[in-house]
Amino acid sequence: MEIKLCGIKFKNPIFLASGIMGDNAGALKRIAINGAGAVTTKSIGLKPNMGHKNPVIVELDEGFLNAVGLANPGVDNYIEELKKIRGFLDKIGVRIIASIYGKDEEEFKEVAKKIEPYVDMIELNISCPHAKGYGLEIGQDVDLSYNVCKSVKSAVNIPVFAKISPMVNIREIAEALCNVVDGFTAINTVKGMVIDINMKKPILSNKFGGLSGKYIKPIGVRVVYELYEYKKPIIGVGGIFNGRDALEYFMAGASAVQIGSAVYFRGYDVFNKIYKEIKEFLDKEGLELKDIIGIAHE
């Protein structure tokens, strides 16, 4: 199931999503040896960021609500983490996608330029729903999103994907960005809230957070289906727990998928499991992965 995205080979199309086990070298390495075709870093910014206070996550039956608030050690420190594992990941053929964020195009560009030598692709986080002044606050502004993408794209030579929120007008943002980015990652989490009825308070210290897991799969499939008409490669993400979920995303138009919450619900080896489930389906149908990408549009 080897694939090529923007000229880059991936040993398989099942990647780690940003925000899960991406805090440091040890975590990324563990995912890499569990069969992921690529690992995506936590979203990295210019300076170290403490993020929000705890609680930053609410466990739900089949997903999470989280508001980590873009906590990260800053690009310079994170590069030290990447240096520890870059060689090993190269050796076992696992690609690294850097998720990055910034407050404006300048900050995005600076982070992108710094991190470029250590990664294979860049994913622009213009869709995180729980960080003031970042993420979705940029993604909701089509012009600002365009400027960020254009500025990063002009600064680096590796592929640049924009990560899209399901809470924006997909047509508007896709039309604006499709001529400037190399592809889309969809979707980021959906803004939500969980209240503890005994404490009578929102659980997250940030009150609002991003909903992930099984809850958002139909939303993600819909966004990928909508994005497919813009003829750019798409990485599908949102509630993929098993091979069937991944296949829905492929048929909607995704060329690869990212796994997040399911790492918790099915274990760190979820990548191998999903790989096997997809392969079984394709073998049974006598099809190859490329045959089904976007097939639901026919």
Partner 1 sequence: MYEVCKIINIIDETPTVKTFVLDKSFKFKPGQFAMIWLPEVNEKPFSFASENSFTIAKVGPFTDKMHKLKIGDKIAVRGPYGSYFKQYGEKILAVAGGVGAVPIVTAVEAFNAEITTILGARNKDELLFIDRFKKHSKLLICTDDGSLGFKGYTTDLMEKVLKEESFDSIIACGPEVMLKKVVKIAYEHNIPVQVSMERYMKCGIGVCGHCCLDNGLCVCKDGPVFTGEQLRKIIIYK
Which amino acids are annotated as binding site for substrate, given as ranges?
42, 66-70, 125, 188-189
Residue 83 interacting partner from a copy of itself, partner 1, none (CB closer than 5 to 8 Å by kind): none
Q: 26: burial class by Cβ within 10 Å (0-12, 13-18, 19+)?
A: exposed
For 92, phi then psi, to 5°, come to -95, 10
Q: CA-CA distance, 143 to 128, in Å (whole number)?
A: 17
Residues near 175 by Cβ (< 8 Å), separated by ≥ 6? 230
Least distance to a copy of itself from the beta carbon of 211, Å?
A: 5
> What part of residues 107-146 is at the interface with a copy of itself (CB under 8 A)?
140
Beta strands in 153-239 (DSSP E): 160-164, 183-186, 190-192, 195-196, 201-202, 209-213, 234-237
Catalytic residue among 6, 128, 149, 178: 128
User: Based on CB atoms, which residue is closest to a copy of itself, 208 or 268?
Assistant: 208
230 binds partner 1 (CB under 8 A): no
Toward a copy of itself, which CB reaches closer, 135 or 202? Answer: 202
Q: Which region among 62-70, 158-166, 169-177, 251-259 touches partner 1 (by CB under 8 A)?
A: 62-70
Q: Are 162 and 124 in contact (CB under 8 A)?
A: yes
| φ and ψ of 15, to 5 deg | -110, 160
State which of positions 215-274 bind a copy of itself (CB under 8 A). 215-216, 218-219, 221-222, 225, 244, 247-248, 251-252
Three-class DSSP category at 51: coil
178 labelled catalytic? no
Residues catalogued as catalytic = 128
Q: Applying CB under 8 A, which residues contact a copy of itself?
A: 60, 65, 140, 166-167, 169, 190-195, 197, 200-202, 207-208, 211, 214-216, 218-219, 221-222, 225, 244, 247-248, 251-252, 281, 292, 295-296, 298
